[in-house]
Structure 1
Amino acid sequence: MVSLPSSVDVAIVGAGAAGLGAANALKDSGLSLIVLEARERVGGRAHTIQAAPDVVFDLGCGWLHSADKNSFVPIAAHLGFAVDKTLPPWRERAYGKAFPQKERDEYMRALEAFYDRVEQAARSGRDTPASRCLEPGNRWNPMIDAISTYVNGSELDQVSILDLDAYVDTNINWRVRRGYGALIAAYGAPCPLALSCNVTLIDYSGQDIRIGTSRGTLTARKVIVTVPTNLIADQAIRFSPALPAKVDAAAALPLGLADKVTLALEEPEALPKEGNLRGATMRTEMGTYHLRPFGQPCIEGFFGGRFARALEDKGDGAIAAYAIDEIVSFLGNDIRRKLKPLKESRWAHDPFARGSYSHALPGHAGKRAMLATPVDGRLFFAGEATSPHFFSTAHGARDSGERAAKEVLAAVRDS
């Protein structure tokens, strides 16, 4: 960790994928720069931990979505991180009797028909809640809504149809064996970082921009802001002069919630590697479970939306307790003694995230471009919420940081 300089050419606020993307893009520019990060670590909403001696766990992002277009894939190769191309468990590897294949087939047809209706509705150009594309009375609607809580972090009634349709998904999903968060941390290792440095003020009223932090004040010619939308909407960072349009745009792009838990599994050989476990539930309040990821002796659980928030609000350990109860309901009471909570995420209660990833509220799909627009040729904005097609992903965040860096270089040339 470097000491806080008194002045730099470019200050980057946030050391998540976006901030690190910007820093790496500027490292050979000849401009002095610093990345200001409130946490004691880099990565933001990407965080790999050693949950147990034989369990590596990504508390945050874990999948290289749209891997054939994902900019972290070549970065992983360059940094020596092995990429696992095993097919994801959510379609191909159903396990157990809780969700028979016939019902899975019916559900998949209903889900695909829903996305077809979203695509058709988006052609009208009218931005309405995605829930309007659910077929009235379809038995699978609650489960389709549950999938939205994993994909969008929110139920469909809070998701813009135009925004949902704008997302690019090539359906190629790979993983990083050592952890996505570990890859992003390695990507950020060469960057000049000021950790435990919480930015609270960005005053651009003078010739130089004054930045107030928990470690003191510094000035910069340009600032790239990469913090999550909820922090901008809550005005955790104060801008002077105020930026009401940015605050409004951020509020229209709130972070939904997707939480994860990992459970140690005794006698792992009794369950298949890379299996998928969930029930044919007629409710949105459900978990889905990844059996033995990478063959590890554990089960990962996933929860989203209002249900994840309710579990978080019950306190630490509530997600794990629910996951164990639900797994027992699928596999029988004998498995309860074989499961032990290891670690769970609580992203809504993380003060520097306040959620997981962004979705556009109905009627506000255009706010991503508004949030990304520079201010006064000196303030620049990046982050997954500013990505037009890869929002909610780490690579979308990284690419947006690179885009903001290019905007900074263009502004320097023109000044």
Structure 2
Amino acid sequence: MSGSPILILGGGAAGLAAARRLSAAGVDSVILESRSRLGGRIVTDRFSTGELCDGGPEFLHGSSPLFDEILQEAGIRSDTMPDRHLVREGNELVETRFGGEWETIFGRLNDYDGPDLSFAEFLRQFCEDVPADARRMATEYVEGFNAADQELISIRWLRSSEQSVGVDEQGIRRLQGGYDQVVAALEKSASRSQIELETDITHVSSEPGTGVRVTATRSGGPRTYEGRCAIATFPIGVLQAGVLRFVPDSVRRSDAIRGFRMGEIIKAVLLFREPFWRDTLAELGGFLHVPGRTFMTWWPLGESRVLTGWSGGPRAGAISRMSTEEIRQVALDDLAEGFGLPAAEIASHLVEDWVYNWCQDPWALGAYSYATVGHAEAHAPLQAPGPGGLFWAGEATDATFPATVAGAIHSGDRAARQALEWLSSQGAPRT
């Protein structure tokens, strides 16, 4: 086994970041990825007219030195979006002080030092005096931005997440040219990695002293891969589905995994014949909110003809089993409500669309994770090395930038460093 590579189980941001670190250390690795492409939940498509479409991550959250280093090395630039929030009042779109309302509630959340509660319970117990509209907006933010069920999400986890990945001094940033540039940059830096796509892992054995053995199916047949150690980057939704078997199993790790939920997200990215919204508002910037609707938040892609609709949390879950055509219609109806226009008129402008239903994606089973009440530290057991040289990465395992691409990248880099240290402790050569 001394000459075997390190196995990286998953070719998303975490797996590629691990491969980047290992390659820089001169260590060979094999990336096993179920999809037919790298990137995991990062996906950028193009409309037939050339406009890009980010179906997964789109924004940069917080300030991550490692992520910024990767972007700088690759020459990837970002734009800052206006931090404006608009809602319809009567026949007009007006700007709302969303941030101010959230800051009032978040201030109380920061001061709270009692037992862990769900966000909904926190509002009931400590925010009854806050205006109903402010509580509603805060709830829609938690269920939308965090893709969470307000009755389940831990306020201790939420507080930590907001402190880490809320809007920083750099504002709301979006990458120029698509998020798939990040995947390309990471793949380029993983120069010592062999990549195996369309490889469905079913069994991971990491008995101490034997190395790691992975059983998978590829090209319709069984395959076995052996490595000195392995880095597992499976999404929480996949781990909770029970489709993977680990030997030996870890009760502590299994309990930690059960402490998470996968956030539910559906994105509808719509290309229109012309940017009709400019007739309603000369310079629409920032975010359009449609309170009470399924697709509660919309934003334009710069000066293009593209609008993106976002549905998060239980509202996304409620429509997740609809057909793509039905989801598109829900999105159009909600957009029409937001602009105060007939749905048929909105639909008449539509040229193409992409609908990304992450709830039903078989390789993720959700968008990103959040911790439930009593499990705010569930990431900790997943940061600890497992038996026999099995290490864990993925956005759920990162406490600094939870539920983000930055967190996934940090976790992959951390797991790779753990693997290198473990190899040294075993007296094994790195190459």
TM-score, normalised via structure 2 length: 0.86
| Equivalent residues of 2:204, 2:215 under 8 A apart | yes
Shift of 1:296: 1.3
Out of 374, 385, 404, the residue aligned to residue 374 of structure 1 is 385
Which residue of the other structure, out of 196, 208, 211, is the alignment partner of 2:211? 208
Against the structure 1 CA distance between its residues 95 and 133, is the aligned structure 2 distance closer, same or farther, given a 3 Å change threshold? Answer: closer
Question: Could you say if the C-alpha distance between residues 275 and 128 of structure 1 is closer, same or farther in structure 2, counting changes exceeding 3 Å?
Answer: closer
For 2:296, the equivalent position in structure 1 comes to: 287
Answer yes or no: is the 8 Å Cα contact 1:285–1:307 preserved in 2.
yes
Q: Which runs of 5+ in 2 are unaligned?
A: 427-431
Could you tell me how far 1:158 is from its partner in structure 2?
A: 1.1
* In the alignment, structure 1 residue 183 sits paired with structure 2 residue 182: yes
Q: Report the CA distance between 1:48 and its aligned residue.
A: 0.7
Offset of residue 299 of structure 1: 1.0
73-82 or 110-119, larger mean C-alpha shift: 73-82
TM-superposed deviation, 1:284: 6.8
Which sections of structure 1, spanning at least 5 residues, go unmatched?
none
CA contact (8 A) 1:256 1:305 kept: yes
Secondary structure of the corresponding residue to residue 402 of structure 2? coil
State the SS of the aligned residue for 2:111: helix
Match of 2:117 among 106, 128, 150: 128
Q: Give yes or no for contact 1:287–1:323 (8 Å, CA) kept in 2.
A: no
Greater shift, 137-146 or 295-304, is seen at 137-146
2:335 to 327, 330, 341: 327
**Distance in 1 of aligned mates of 2:224 and 2:66:** 34
Match of 2:141 among 132, 135, 147: 147
Amino acid at match of 1:76: L
Residues 58-207 of structure 1 aligned to structure 2 (within 5 Å): 58-66=54-62, 68-69=63-64, 71-84=66-79, 86-88=80-82, 91-92=83-84, 94=86, 97=89, 104-105=96-97, 107-121=98-112, 123-124=113-114, 126-134=115-123, 135-136=127-128, 138-140=131-133, 141-167=135-161, 168-169=164-165, 171=167, 172-191=171-190, 192=193, 193-205=195-207, 207=210
Distance of 1:367 and 1:163 partners within structure 2: 9
2:267 paired with 1:260: yes
Q: Are 2:26 and 1:25 aligned? A: no
Displacement of 1:77 after TM fit?
A: 2.4
Q: Which moved more, 1:154-163 or 1:368-377?
A: 368-377
Question: Does structure 2 conserve the Cα–Cα contact (< 8 Å) formed by 1:202 and 1:239?
Answer: yes
- Cα offset, 1:371, TM superposition: 1.7
* Structure 1 residue 236, shift from structure 2 partner: 2.0
Q: In structure 2, the residue corresponding to 1:184 is in which secondary structure?
A: helix
Cα distance in 1, alignment partners of residues 197 and 128 from structure 2: 51
- Please give the residue correspondences for 1:386-405 in structure 2 after superposition, counting only pairs within 5 Å: 386-405=397-416
What root-mean-square deviation, in Å, do the aligned CA atoms of Structure 1 and Structure 2 show?
2.4
Deviations 1:142-169 (A, max 9, x none): 3322211222111221111111111213
Partner of 1:359: helix, strand, or coil? strand
Aligned with 1:311 (options 310, 319, 324): 319
Instruction: Confirm or deny: 8 A CA contact 1:312 1:318 kept in the other structure.
Output: no
1:183 shift after superposition? 2.0
Q: Quote the residue 1:46 is aligned against.
A: 42
Name the CA distance, whole Å, in 2 between partners of 1:100 and 1:404: 51
Aligned amino acid, residue 419 of structure 2: V
Q: Distance in 2 between matches of 1:181 and 1:156?
A: 31
**Alignment check: 8 A CA contact 1:61 1:181 kept:** no
1:319: how far off? 2.6
| Higher mean C-alpha displacement, 47-56 vs 401-410 | 47-56
Contact preservation (8 Å) 1:64, 1:73: no
Equivalent pair of 1:17/1:184 in contact (CA under 8 Å): yes
Cα distance, 1:407 vs. partner? 0.6
The one-letter code of the counterpart of 1:139 is A
* CA distance 1:77–1:289, change in 2 (3 Å): same
TM-score normalized by structure 1? 0.90
Q: Which residue of 2 aligns with 1:299?
A: 307
Aligned residues: 401
Report the counterpart of residue 248 of structure 1 in structure 2. Answer: 255
What's the CA shift for 1:285? 4.0
1:342 is the counterpart of 2:342: no
Identity score, percent? 27
Q: Distance in 2 between matches of 1:246 and 1:362?
A: 17
- Whether the 8 Å CA contact 1:149–1:303 is kept in 2: the answer is no
Change (3 A) 1:244 1:52: farther
**1:65 Cα shift?**
1.0
1:365-412 Cα offsets, whole Å, 9 max, x none, are 111111221112501001110111211100111011100111111111
> Equivalent of 2:4, from 5, 8, 14?
8
Output the CA distance in 2 between the equivalents of 1:98 and 1:14. 49
